[in-house]
């Protein structure tokens, strides 16, 4: 995994100013790949968006990509995978309000 120069904030501790914005093209592409079951590809796509994003919405992107990675591991028979730092996608993405999810998924 590529390490970014991550912002000093932590997931869920600062609200995102970007949640009301239209989703970026790579986010839409990653969600489409996820929905087609292309979990490896969605990881590659969303990782680029996550690395380049400085706003706390980056943790939403990270959470989505981690959920997809979890599905890929299950597909490969690795049911014990817990994610890079042990938290996994649901722990990361659950820190965002339902409104943030709705605006990203329905736009």
> Is 33 inside any structural domain?
yes
DSSP state of 4: P
- When pLDDT is cut at 50, 70 and 90, the band that residue 19 belongs to is confident
The answer on pLDDT for 83 being more than 80 is no
Which pLDDT value is given to residue 31?
92
Q: Rounded to whole angstroms, how far apart are CA atoms 59 and 56? A: 6
Tokens of 60: 């939403």
CATH code of the domain containing 97: 1.10.3450
Contact 60, 100 (CB under 8 A): yes
Choose between 11 and 47: higher pLDDT.
47
Whether the per-residue pLDDT at 36 is higher than 70: the answer is yes
| Residue 72 domain flag | yes
Residue 53 sits in which domain range? 25-106
Residue 6 lies in a domain: no
Cα dihedral 1, 54, 24, 95 sign: positive
Residue 38 belongs to a domain: yes
Transcribe 32-94 into DSSP letters. Answer: HHHHTT-HHHHHHHHHHHHHH--STTHHHHHHHHHHHHHHHHHHTT-TT---TTSSHHHHHHT
Two tokens, residue 8: 């000093």
Mean pLDDT, all residues of the chain: 73
Is the residue at 8 inside a domain? no
In a domain, 18, yes or no: no
pTM of the model: 0.64
pLDDT tens per residue, range 85-100: 444 444 444 444 333 4
- pLDDT > 90: percent of the chain: 26
Q: Has residue 89 been placed in a domain? A: yes
């Amino acid at each position: 995994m590529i390490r970014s120069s991550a912002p000093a904030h932590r997931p869920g501790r600062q609200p995102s100013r970007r949640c009301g914005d239209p989703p970026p093209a790579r986010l839409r592409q990653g969600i489409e790949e996820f929905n087609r079951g292309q979990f490896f590809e969605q990881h590659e796509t969303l990782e680029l968006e996550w690395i380049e994003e400085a706003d706390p919405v980056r943790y939403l992107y990270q959470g989505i990509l981690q959920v997809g990675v979890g599905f890929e591991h299950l597909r490969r028979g690795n049911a014990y995978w817990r994610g890079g730092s042990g938290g996994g996608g649901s722990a990361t993405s659950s820190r965002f309000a339902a409104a943030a999810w709705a605006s990203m998924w329905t736009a």
